[in-house]
């Protein structure tokens, strides 16, 4: 097995590291404190080609690979969990249009998503359809040449700032999950409005909102894929999104590790730097071991997706483990910073808050265990 990056992947890593250092890191604490969506940086990520990486060149993609995409989200996550999460969510609807969209849909939307002219969001979760994604209550009824949507979505990442939404709705309740379909909805569509904006524990610079559909009429050509195939489409999207969230979690763990090593080298107690204390070195060893294991799982899942092999189980494993590592490492980082770790002056406090969501969205850790178990027992 070859664990080396290709020259192209090394170039991506170098480019995104420079962008993060110059554009993302300097404002990460400020946008968290002010709960401000980093619109300018998201637009720049699109303009500089980072969202183009895994997509074909026909509609403006870079023809790159999934490991490069994981590298981008990982490197962003080292300094800003919110911006990494926003970016991962944006990749998801872009991927679904690329995979399932008609020629007209691709021509209309794909380049705008790749360049971040449009910000994307994926709307599945509802008050009664969280972990049970099959229990969608939002309805879509075909009326002539239009579908009419009614219902409410909640906890939608990028909600309220996105220009482009993929929305899951029930088109035939009698068919259960085979009656769920996916639709493209633009932000200014009549009958579509934004409800509650959530105030969150972490990733405070990201937007999370309620979506409301009241007799929202969209042309039938906005159906994404075939009618009744929305649930399958959403599961494919979530499999891919879980690699993205695992990459975000990995980056958060790596960033917290870097901050901790830096702090322990600078801080002295009992006449010597903290980095020389054996007990703290043991913590560092545990943290680094878990990070290395998480990195291998994330890159393996990305590799399987890139090569067209089944990756549902591996994506769930990567997401489960990397998110738990993010929580473990950030928790230890705060502890080893002592009182300073509890202060917003130091980034590890923000990193710990940001890490928690990686155990919840795109499928909780408990759901990941169900997915993994189903894959190995079927």
Q: What is the CATH number of domain 232-377?
A: 1.20.140.10
At residue 131, the pLDDT reads 87
Determine whether 362 is an active site residue: yes
Q: Is 282 exposed, middle or buried (0-12, 13-18, 19+ CB in 10 A)?
A: exposed
Give the dihedral of Cα atoms 302, 308, 312, 315; nearest 10 deg: 0
CA distance 203 to 316: 22
Closest by Cα among 316, 324, 169, 296 to 241: 316
User: Tokens 């309740």 correspond to what residue?
Assistant: 173
Topology of domain 7-119, CATH: Butyryl-Coa Dehydrogenase, subunit A; domain 1 (1.10.540)
Alpha carbon separation from 23 to 41, 318, 349, 359 (Å, rounded): 7, 28, 21, 27
Closest by Cα among 91, 107, 101, 123 to 58: 107
Of 210, 324, 349, 362, catalytic: 362
Closest by Cα among 97, 183, 179 to 136: 179
Tell how many helices (H) and how many strands (E) occur in the chain.
Answer: 12, 10
pTM for the model: 0.97
At residue 251, the pLDDT reads 98
At residue 110, the pLDDT reads 97
Q: Quick one: residue 156, left, alpha or beta (phi over 0 = left, psi -120 to 50 = alpha)?
A: beta
At residue 187, the pLDDT reads 97
At residue 3, the pLDDT reads 87
Give the dihedral of Cα atoms 9, 13, 19, 25; nearest 10 deg: 150
Q: Average pLDDT of each block of 10 consecutive residues along the chain (378 residues)?
A: 92 98 98 98 98 94 96 98 98 97 97 98 94 91 98 98 98 95 98 98 98 98 97 96 98 98 97 97 98 98 97 98 98 98 98 98 97 96
* Fold matches, 7-119 and 232-377: no
Domain borders along the chain are 7-119, 121-231, 232-377
3-state secondary structure of 326: helix
Find out if CATH 2.40.110.10 is the number for domain 121-231: yes
CA distance 239 to 95: 11
CA distance 356 to 338: 20
């Amino acid at each position: 097995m070859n664990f080396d990056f290709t020259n192209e992947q090394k170039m991506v890593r170098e480019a995104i590291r420079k962008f993060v250092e110059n554009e993302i890191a300097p404002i990460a604490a400020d946008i968290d404190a002010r709960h401000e969506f980093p619109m300018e940086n998201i637009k720049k990520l699109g303009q500089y080609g980072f969202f183009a990486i895994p997509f074909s060149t026909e509609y403006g993609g870079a023809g790159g690979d999934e490991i490069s995409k994981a590298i981008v989200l990982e490197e962003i996550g080292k300094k800003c969990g919110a911006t990494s999460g926003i970016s991962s969510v944006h990749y998801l609807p872009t991927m679904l249009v690329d995979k399932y969209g008609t020629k007209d849909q691709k021509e209309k939307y794909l380049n705008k998503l790749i360049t971040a002219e449009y910000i994307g969001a994926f709307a599945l979760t509802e008050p009664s359809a969280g972990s049970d994604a099959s229990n969608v209550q939002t309805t879509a009824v075909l009326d002539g040449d239009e579908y009419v949507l009614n219902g409410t979505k909640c906890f939608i990442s990028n909600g309220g700032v996105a220009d482009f939404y993929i929305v899951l709705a029930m088109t035939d309740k009698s068919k259960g999950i085979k009656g769920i379909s996916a639709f493209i909805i633009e932000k200014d569509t009549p009958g579509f409005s934004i409800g509650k904006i959530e105030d969150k524990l972490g990733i405070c610079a990201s937007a999370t909102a309620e979506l409301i559909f009241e007799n929202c009429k969209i042309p039938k050509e906005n159906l994404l894929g075939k009618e009744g195939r929305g649930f399958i489409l959403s599961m494919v999207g979530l499999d891919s999104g879980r690699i993205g969230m695992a990459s975000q979690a990995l980056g958060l763990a790596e960033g917290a590790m870097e901050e901790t090593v830096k702090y322990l080298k600078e801080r002295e107690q009992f006449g010597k730097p903290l980095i020389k204390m054996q007990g703290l070195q043991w913590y560092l060893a545990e943290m680094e071991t878990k990070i290395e294991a998480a990195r291998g799982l994330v890159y393996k899942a990305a590799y399987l997706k890139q090569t067209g092999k089944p990756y549902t189980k591996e994506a769930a494993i990567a997401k489960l483990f990397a998110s738990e590592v993010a929580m473990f490492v950030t928790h230890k980082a705060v502890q080893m910073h002592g009182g300073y770790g509890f202060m917003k002056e130091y980034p590890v406090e923000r990193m710990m808050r940001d890490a928690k969501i990686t155990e919840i969205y795109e499928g909780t850790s408990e759901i990941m265990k169900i997915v993994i178990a189903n894959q190995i027992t079927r």
